[in-house]
Amino acid sequence: MACGAVSLDTLARRFGTPLYVYSADQIVERLGLFQEALAGRDHLVCYAVKANSALAILKLLADCGAGFDIVSGGELERVLAAAPDAVDRIVFSGVGKTEAEIDRALDAGILEFNVESEAELELLAARARKLKRKTRFALRVNPDVFAETHPYISTGLREHKFGIDIRRAVDIYKRVKGNRWLEPHGVSVHIGSQIRSADPFGAALERLNKLVRQLGRQGIELKSVDAGGGLGIDYHAGNFDPASHVRAYAAAVSNALDGFAGKLLLEPGRFLVAQAACST
């Protein structure tokens, strides 16, 4: 057995077992699929650090131009340790951000905060004002789109506990318009995990595009749309073709954002690393 051109038996004798081995070539290839499929559109592929936070993997992806989606202060520190020059490619997502985590990210100068609730937006504004650091944010909205996945990992309907009902988004953006310390930079969505069809992503992004145009008419020009993660892997199909899967996903997302000239953010996690691993 081998991973790439390296014998797993040799690695097992040298490092012991159990042992996880990741193929750098396959990780870079997976990242390249997204970058190639989105060529011509301003985009940033933000690897979801929670999928695997090994420093070597983070450095490898950063060297290939990836950004990072983090959900904790610990993940922020790991990215900064592995790739300090990638700080302006970090998006801070996730619920329950603490004051200390927000302060550290403000001090570091990350790309943007994906805000999960009105209470979190108030906290972010207060910390930015306290530290005198203007910061960029995106609201995570629920577009009320059914994700074709297990109900326990579906998160895009308006009744779900994460994010903000898309119908409330315009009022919230308008409320903070002109705030000295907050810059409405983008809008974010995450409709679920392990979604293998491109259609739900397209439907969600169409609703975000409509929201962006509506905000533009109110004088609020957003510069980014975060399509979230969740692109699924068929672990049981022997003929799984990641390239065609990514192309279908990229086409659905790009078509849904017709007319939007800002940056598209994507957050693949396990899709980049899960099938680049061998165990022994």
User: Helices 169-176 and 199-217: crossing angle, nearest 10°?
Assistant: 40
Q: Domain range for residue 189?
A: 24-279
CATH number at residue 206: 3.20.20.10
Q: What is the pLDDT of residue 157?
A: 42
The confidence score (pLDDT) of residue 275 equals 67
Other CB atoms within a 10 A radius of the CB of residue 136 amount to 16
- Kindly state whether residue 260 falls inside one of the protein's structural domains: yes
Residue 108 maps to a domain: yes
The verdict on residue 12 lying in a domain is no
Q: Tell whether 54 is covered by a domain.
A: yes
Contact 265, 53 (CB under 8 A): no
In the predicted structure, residue 206 carries a pLDDT above the cut 60:
yes
Preceding amide of 18 cis, omega within 30: yes
Question: Count of domains in the chain?
Answer: 1
- Is 154 contained in some domain? yes
Q: How far apart are the first and last CA of the chain?
A: 9
Is a pLDDT exceeding 90 seen at residue 215?
yes
**Taking the CB of residue 243, how many other CB atoms lie within 10 A of it?**
13
How confident is residue 105, by pLDDT bands cut at 50, 70 and 90? very high
User: Residue 119 burial (CB < 10 Å; 0-12/13-18/19+)?
Assistant: exposed
Structural domain contains residue 2: no
Region of poorest pLDDT, from 62-71, 124-133, 241-250: 241-250
Please tell me the least confidently modeled range out of 54-58, 212-216, 221-225, 246-250: 246-250
The pLDDT score that the predictor gives to residue 270 is 87
Please check whether residue 6 lies inside any domain of the structure: no
Residues in the chain: 280
Provide the mean pLDDT of the chain: 90
This prediction's pTM: 0.91
Evaluate whether residue 149 is within a structural domain: yes
pLDDT band of 231, cuts 50, 70, 90: confident
Predicted local distance difference test score (pLDDT) of residue 232: 77
